[in-house]
Amino acid sequence: MRFLGLFLSLAAGAAFAGEYAVLASGARLRADRHEADGARVRLYSGAGFVEMDAASVRGYEVEEYVPPGRPLGPAARPAPVASPAPSPAELADAAADKYGLPRRLVRSVMAHESGFQPRAVSPKGAVGLMQLMPSTARALGADPHDPAQNVDAGARYLRRLLVKYNGGLWRALAAYNAGPEAVDKYGSVPPYRETMHYVRKIDQDYRKGGD
């Protein structure tokens, strides 16, 4: 749901301050700026924007400006050092930060989807840490077998769903589990035992605390 990562704005190597829209669910969505128009609000990023119900946004937080670092000259550039691959939790945190989602939410989804196992494959064919179906991964332009791409695409998809449902966490989680078609059909969490259990468990885990 949020729209292919348009909320990261980089220009000429410098990072410019924006803001975070704090949703009623507790999720945060990054934008360059916002404009309120009655019962609707637009969150702008670059040349695009996303429109939501104003009631689904409980406030805004200013993003701190981060000045660009001074580039190293050729003589001062250190020799490359191989770094260990990031852990699943680190991948979750990086994707959460990139798409303006709470870290604990992305970790909770990952825990319940795959148990933090990069090679997990479900009986239905969902793959990897965020258990992406191959068709969903293709639509997101990701290789589901690559852990970093899997987590990035999963977090991006979760953000899209949060936007689609105006910050409604339960409906977004239900759509992640059962598909948006099922949520749209029932107008809420569909009456599937697996999906209802999934939504409650992640919501409980997410609300235990943490970032």
- Per-residue confidence (pLDDT) for residue 5, from 0 to 100: 37
Give the model's pLDDT for residue 9: 34
Mean per-residue pLDDT, 48-54: 80
C-alpha to C-alpha distance for 207 and 104, rounded to whole angstroms: 9
CB-based contact 14:67 (threshold 8 Å): yes
- Model pLDDT, residue 205: 92
Alpha-carbon torsion (21, 23, 28, 30), positive or negative = negative
In the residue annotation, 113 being an active-site residue is answered as yes
pTM summary value: 0.67
**What mean pLDDT, rounded, does the chain reach?**
84
For 29, phi then psi, to 5°, come to -120, 125
Which residue did the predictor score with more confidence, 65 or 62? 62
Angle in degrees, CA 104, 107, 113, rounded to 5: 140
Q: Give the model's confidence band at 12: pLDDT under 50 very low, under 70 low, under 90 confident, else very high.
A: very low
Given 61, 113, 181, 194, which residue is catalytic? 113
**Residue 13: what pLDDT?**
34
In this prediction, residues 43-61 reach a mean pLDDT of: 81
- CA neighbours within 13 Å on the CB side: how many for 90? 5
Question: Residue 156 pLDDT more than 50?
Answer: yes
The pLDDT assigned to 18 comes to 81
Predicted local confidence at residue 15, as pLDDT: 42
CA dist 13 to 4, 46, 67, Å?
21, 15, 10
Question: How crowded is residue 176: how many other Cβ atoms within 10 Å of its Cβ?
Answer: 25
Class of the CATH domain delimited by 88-206: mainly alpha
Q: 110-119, 133-142, 200-209 — which is least confidently predicted?
A: 200-209
Measured CA to CA in angstroms, residue 189 lies from 108, 170, 174, 196, 199 at distances of: 18, 7, 6, 7, 8
Q: In the chain, where are the structural domains located?
A: 3-62, 88-206
Residue 1: band (very low, low, confident or very high) from pLDDT cuts 50, 70, 90? very low
65-113 confidence digits (pLDDT tens): 555 555 555 555 666 776 788 999 999 999 999 999 999 999 999 999 9
